[in-house]
Structure 1
Amino acid sequence: MKTFFRETYQVLRVNLRQLVLFEILYRLVAGAFYIRLVNLLLKISLRAAGYSYLTMSNLAAFLLRPVTVGCAMVLVLVGAFLMVVELGGLMTAYQAAAYSRRIDVVSIVRGAVGKAVDELSKRNWQLFLLALASYLMMNSMVLLRLLTRVKPVNFVMAEIWSQRAGRAGLAAVVAGLVVIGIPTMLVFFACMVEQKRFRDGVRRSMELVKGRWPKALALLFGLNALMVAVSVALHLLFVVAAAVCVTLFVDSYAAMAVLAAVCRRLELVVLAVASMAAGLVDFGALTVVYYQFETRHSQVKPWDFSYVCRDHLSRKRILAVTGAVAGVSLLFLLDMVCNGFPLDSSVLTETEITAHRGSSKRAPENTLAALETAIDEMADYAEIDVQTTSDGVVVVCHDLNLKRLAGVNRRLGSMTYGEVRDLDVGSRFGADFAGERIPTLEEALDDCKGRIKLNIELKNIGDRTDLPEQVVEMIRDREMQEQCVITSVKLDYLVRVKEADPDLHTGYILPAAYGRYYDNDAFDFISLRSSFVTLGLVENAHEKGKAVHVWTVNKKSEIEQMKVLGVDNIITDYPALAREVLYREEATESLMEYLKMVLR
């Protein structure tokens, strides 16, 4: 067994730098493309089903729809192809490494594309499905952790795990994957190196592993156990470092909220690295296994690792194609940074947090200072109110009369923007905010783009206004459709928003929880007072594909109650407190308390 580990290390280290570079570039390019595809097909499926959000209540009906099934098949096929391309790159590098031959990244890319094209030309479609299954096994721990972060899958997984039959079913699935994986572990080498058809490759793999598979399985198990241990240790190290930084540099009121958000992002980084390492290490180990088993079985001279794939593309073309795809990928990534993550997190993630009128307990409400504070407190959304001045400028302000905010007993709609701009709405909150002004919506959008999502409430200022169309145009001009939702107590405004841009998500603010309001296509979620929320209301809304936002939730006990009821978004004056309650972990809290005591 020591020989297997030693030779695996040798195979890995020869082209490790080039392989890591290939993996990073490939996953950036393929990942950006695949995320866009998932986002597109998810939108198509949700629109066909008439849903805006996925929940436990509507998940089964959604998955069984023909459009959803078709989109899922497309995603599986594309994902399998992308995995075979990546696998082809690894095989190319390891073929060279087996005889200590160094190759560059372009050669790895050429081998990746060439091998995938070869398998398509041989119609080895089963190999693509096997690649998908292999990656599922190799990344099982990573995927399991990711699935616990995605709704409604996390609820499904928790329900399955809580039942004995569910645990037995999961064990049976794992056992089935192992039973399939053992005899087929060398099929990729038989098909990609020996150029066999899939069925012949399976027979060749079974021939090679017969009587020897326990050694290979022990090698793979040992390596993966080591990678899991390293990943856990790395994550713990990051958490401790983050906790020290938060304790030293973040105000105590927001410390737990910031740490919870940072730890989740750090975990995603560790999982991404672990996923990449799993492919590199496992296929490196399988290269050694194949080489050892093949030479002992045939009792001939060692396997020829020379590049056997046909040159489908020249070096210059590979460079040109790679550069073009990398450029497109970079644009996608920049778009994600500027306009928000394309895969709508409100559809898939757990309860989100909205800062009410910005962070209105720590800064003057509906001001740029309140928005900045909401960002600092790690809110997912900032809720702002908009209306128009007498000369048609859209400004961010809740009250129709400005007496409470600015000491001026006049309606905002009767004042010009020039008059509104000169008002001080910060001095009454505190001396530190003296001179804070009522911002325009354009200023708020520009300030928040790529930093925080916005829940824009259209105040009811009558039927003759063009407020809905103005707001839609401003959002569309900045390409912030993925970053904004629009709400109102006036249903007609939401109808007009949908007419202007059907892809914008809208929310109906309900004065009371009565009547059947779930079937209306003018809005995608309901927003109501938290005291009206019941489990039945949430389930009924979810069955219709509508999300539930609740306001204004400020007490710990009420935040915990809303989490239990399964609401999708909590609107609060204390976003840091809400994040602490919703996403706190006992181990992290204990660590923070210890660090506070030590560093005090």
Structure 2
Amino acid sequence: MNNKVEKEKLEVINLIKKTFLNFKFNLKETLVFEMFYRLLALFILWPINYVIIKYFMKSSGFTSISNSQFIDFALSIRGIICIGVVVVISFCMIFFEIGALTYIGVKSHNGEKVRLLDGAFNSFSMLKDTMDRGMIPLVLITGVIGPLTGIGLCSSLIRNFTIPPFITIELKKTLGGKALLFIGIAILVILLFRWCLAIPILLVEKIKGRAAIKKSYLIYKKNKWKLFRGFIIWIIVIFLIGTIATGGVIFTGATVGEFLGNRSVYSMIFLSVMTIIFYLMFIFFSLISTPLFVSYLVELYYALRSEDTRERDLKDEYDYKDNKIYKGLNKFRKLAILLTIVLFIVMVSINGYNVISKRVFNKDIMITAHRGASKAAPENSMSSIKKAVEQGADYAEIDVQTTKDNEVVLFHDNNLKRIAGSSKKIKDLTYEEISKIDAGSYFSKEYKNERIPKLEDILKYSKGKIKLNIELKPMGKDDNLVPLVLDLINKYDMKNDVVITSIDFDSLMKVESLEPALQTGYIVLAAIGDFEKLNVDFFSIESTLATPQTIYALHALNKGVHVFTINSEESTEKMIFLGVDNIITDNVPLVKDIENSMREDKDLDYVTMYYEAVLSITRFSNI
């Protein structure tokens, strides 16, 4: 048994070696194609989809869509049509890239040089074969599963598609959530294995999309452990190559820079050159990551398919000799390649300059303890507020709801299941009933019998100690949460010590109409359109929405930017460099330590600046 496993591992390693050798055969053509596709995606494909979405939004009466409005729009007739059109266009363009790369992989496998125009025409001509029930799994594999798993099968059109951190953070808070996350990832990986060979099959064999999906599944059934080992070894090899290459450049730069003198002119020149080399290497790996994996899938397909497979005849220049579009494009082929290379160089040069030299450090940045210091004490409790004060947070973010007898209490969820093991809801209980609930034991025995506090008690304690970010969580249209909260704020003279936020925009508008002097912030989980122009003082945005463009636009409109939920060193540094105004975190000490280290006024030497430039490239460059 062990001999068999070792033999299969050796076969996989030999297959990976073969992939690299064959990939090198048409490397220049692959790089040019990827440059062309990146430009196409940036300047044509994304704008087309955006214009389509804006048209349907406008015809439905929306200038922007955020949060629950996505559901309202998606369930409308125009929304359904819009989604259908965008999905079909996006799939066609994704298939164009993956199909053309598969074409290059097949030609390289056969030792044949490729013409990019032939690859593009062959890819588009096979689109009709995908337009059956097989299109659904093909959309999932290329548009969802590939990007989410991050193994390599992801188009440049949607390269950065990830599960928003606020979802994974909430899931990880409970055992059931962790299990759900694990099961979800497992399902995605299994589907990836089942369907990953569908596009090579579709391109090489003259069959329809549904048949290609079925045939990919049959190959998976017979070779599931070979596929699994093949993917694992591939991931390890690519990781090692990337680590050794990047580590080598970083180590060489830092070592030679120190030898030359970390403040000398020679060190500055040398490290500037090394930064450029690292950036070019980063761009190169970015360009080849998807093509290389597609080439590996092609080699896997040839290794695992049955010997009696009948291949389709891939067309070439001779077959298209009477095609006017082909002839017209072929006439300007060399000029198109030259323009592609020049425009791509300009684009990456501008991107590199912006990433390295145009970082923003907001010296007035604030730190908000999410649900109080929820990493150190039970969330939304008096203890978590006290911990937030001890940790030196500027704000404590708290969630408020009303009880059955109109008391305002701190609580986040719709029911007590996660905190107290009960399916009952806050709005269905009186405060007397709620005051008997143990809301601390779920966190640790140390906080046994911690109670769900009233907002009134939190306001009394917090005055003069810490500011509050009060998130309104109304439960129904007839909920009188807004006036009750405002009455308490006025009662304790806390107008200058609180801000009001909510995912419910109507609640914020009630606050604006009743107490216009209060600062209001709209919580945005997802958005499209001109949401920046909404009538609030600041926006509390999910971290994946925090792009330089969004932050610049909000600041230009004099709107503050709060970002949630930031719990890692990498994401903290990124938010600080982007110039956000407030970081919302479960881990206040971590964010404070990073902020303090970055705030120190010191004359940075060239080696340190080199390290920071490298980090900026890896974290912020988006090509």
TM-score by length of 1: 0.47
